[in-house]
Structure 1
Amino acid sequence: MFALIALTASIVAAPAAAQERADEGAERAVAFAPKQATVGVADYGPFRVLDEKRAALVDVTDAATIADFEAMLRDHPGIAILELVECPGTDDDSANLKLGRMIRARGLATHVPAGGSVRSGAVELFLAGKRRLIDDGAEFAVHAWRDSDGREPADYAPDSPYNRAYVDYYREMGVAQPQAFYDMTNAVPNADARWLTAQDMRRWVGEARDGDVTVAAPQEQSPSIAYLDLGSRFP
């Protein structure tokens, strides 16, 4: 996988707490113990520019993240790799899926390094990578969404716009079994989470370690869930 280089010595600020509801879109975030703050060349919202080719995502995304992403690539057009380091999820699912489509349109690779954590709505951003790379020791967490009325995916028809938005996105991102992947994430209620290893996620997305990428040694984690929440509207 892509070499982590100096990233291991400089990882992330504590995630922002999710609000009770979101006016612009659904919220999905799984909190985690904070790590060291990432020091980069420049900061753009939840992004840290690491060098001329790499940026890291280190916090919750929201409606403002789209403008942050555009500004980052305007100022640093050579960025080709997005390192997903400490990614609790999103405060705005609608904006999050738009951001994922922008990542794919720019042809960026997504890379989860050893010790990297991609949770809830951030999984959609990982899937957006034109090339998706996972180091041993990376972790993922998924769970069902819940709207402001307390409803979860099973409370809506399978072909409702709320459910279709995610299946269509997974299909667009090239997930081999988009419906099965969505069903897997929704098999866990919003009040809980399913933790997936690097090997688990590789099986779902059909990606394996690449020979030209350095793979860091696995790191054991003892994750804890501090909050899980959703808002009301969907794309």
Structure 2
Amino acid sequence: MKIAIVSLLATLVVLQACGNSDNKKAIVKQQVNEVHGIQPDKVPNYIENFKLQYEQLDLQIDGVKYSLSFFDTDDAEKVIIAKYGNGLIYLGFDFEKEQPINSIMLLEGDISDLEDFKPTAILKGSNIELSEREDNMVYQGSIEDVNTKKLYSIRAVINESLLEAGDSTLTLEGNVATLNGTLGTATYIQMDELIKTKSFDTLKFGKVSGSINDDINMHTGRLIRAAKLTTLMPTGSFAYSGGVDLFAAGNQRIFQDGGELGVHSWCCLAGKDAGQLSKTDPAHGAQLTYFREMLGAEKGPEFYFFTINAAPAASIHKMKKAEMVKYSLITE
């Protein structure tokens, strides 16, 4: 009999714990852990180290120094493409093995309009030697003009900062800042400095092709949200991939007909696009954390999984307005 009484009392305690004075069940919110590629408190050190590395980038042709800035990569051709004062430089790099290849090619000419770029001279590397100095990779040797056969000495120094920087520009006119280019660590620095030193309330997208450094790009989005900026996608402009992440960061988001938001899967984990991974894969963690912050606990994850299933990494899905409304990127 004593055992039965104890059992009854235990049952009553459990029932009381699960209800309130109105006998309604208590709603217990599931705790979701935050995940970051770069922990928020580590961002200042990350930026400082990036700046130190970026200062070490160097290109010298016959003793004349040029600055380097990221342009593109081509995994198939195994090259890193950078801009310099006279055109484009192609540096051999094996992305699978993560090591440089002793090849260089320069295309000289006006790169102000890259869509119509026509090189006025082509120079190819000769006897290129490779070396490593701390975090830097050094290419050194000669380049030959394929037409004149003239030889020039060349020395190029690169490191991870070239690949992480992007080539974005952020220009301010009145209370509107306009963003263009490929996003990266340089974008974070540009945004942080502009928010701290200038007064503006709108971030307008021009032509934003995506992000080369998603880990820092999400923190750029957090700068936008903390500053309560309105994000504007005007007619005739576009934002793809990581650019959409920044559009989502707007405290208010305005989309004009004729603008474009393009999404796709990120790549890769063990050779798989994100859309090929299980929904429970930890690799989704940082993006899920970000979109919960920007679009809410329900719409954020829904939108993220929509993006990685909308198109593979090598393609792009241009969002329909109804999709933007569905995932709360914009309101009707």
Which TM-score applies when normalising by structure 2? 0.48
- Taking only aligned residues, the RMSD between alpha carbons, in angstroms, comes to 2.7
Alignment deviations for residues 108-136 of structure 1 (CA, whole Å, 9 cap, x no partner): 11000011101011110000000011011
Cα 1:206–1:75 shift into 2, 3 Å = closer
Alignment partner for residue 216 of structure 2, among 95, 99, 102?
95
Alignment deviations for residues 143-190 of structure 1 (CA, whole Å, 9 cap, x no partner): 111126422224544233321221221111025522221222111211
Q: Is the 8 A contact 1:140 1:198 kept in 2?
A: no
Alignment partner for residue 146 of structure 1, among 259, 267, 285?
267
> C-alpha distance in 1, partners of 2:329/2:207?
23
Q: Is the 8 A contact 1:136 1:199 kept in 2?
A: no
Q: Is the 8 A contact 2:265 2:275 kept in 1?
A: no
Gaps of 5+ in 1: 1-14, 24-32, 36-44, 210-235
Alignment partner for residue 65 of structure 1, among 174, 187, 198?
187
One-letter amino acid matched to 2:301: Q
Which structure has more relative contact order (CA 8 Å, sep 6+)? It is 1
2:323 alignment counterpart: 200
> C-alpha distance in 1, partners of 2:190/2:329?
30
Gaps of 5+ in 2: 1-69, 76-94, 99-113, 117-166
2:176 alignment counterpart: 54
> C-alpha distance in 2, partners of 1:34/1:130?
34
* SS of corresponding position for 1:88: strand
Superposition map of 1:152-191 within 5 A: 152-175=273-296, 176-187=298-309, 188-191=311-314
Q: Is the 8 A contact 1:16 1:59 kept in 2?
A: no
Task: State which structure, 1 or 2, has the greater radius of gyration over its C-alpha atoms.
Answer: 2
Structure with bigger helix share is 2
> C-alpha distance in 1, partners of 2:193/2:74?
26
Residue 72 (structure 2) pairs with residue 17 (structure 1): yes
> C-alpha distance in 1, partners of 2:235/2:73?
26
Matched residues, percent identical? 26
1:28 alignment counterpart: none
Residue 166 (structure 2) pairs with residue 111 (structure 1): no
Which TM-score applies when normalising by structure 1? 0.66
Paired residue total:
176
> C-alpha distance in 2, partners of 1:19/1:149?
19
Structure with bigger strand share is 2
Aligned-residue offset at 1:102: 1.0
Cα 1:55–1:165 shift into 2, 3 Å = same
> C-alpha distance in 1, partners of 2:232/2:170?
14
Q: Is the 8 A contact 1:135 1:198 kept in 2?
A: no
Aligned-residue offset at 1:59: 0.7
> C-alpha distance in 1, partners of 2:220/2:238?
19
Aligned-residue offset at 1:19: 6.0
* SS of corresponding position for 2:185: coil
* SS of corresponding position for 1:184: helix
Q: Is the 8 A contact 2:168 2:186 kept in 1?
A: no
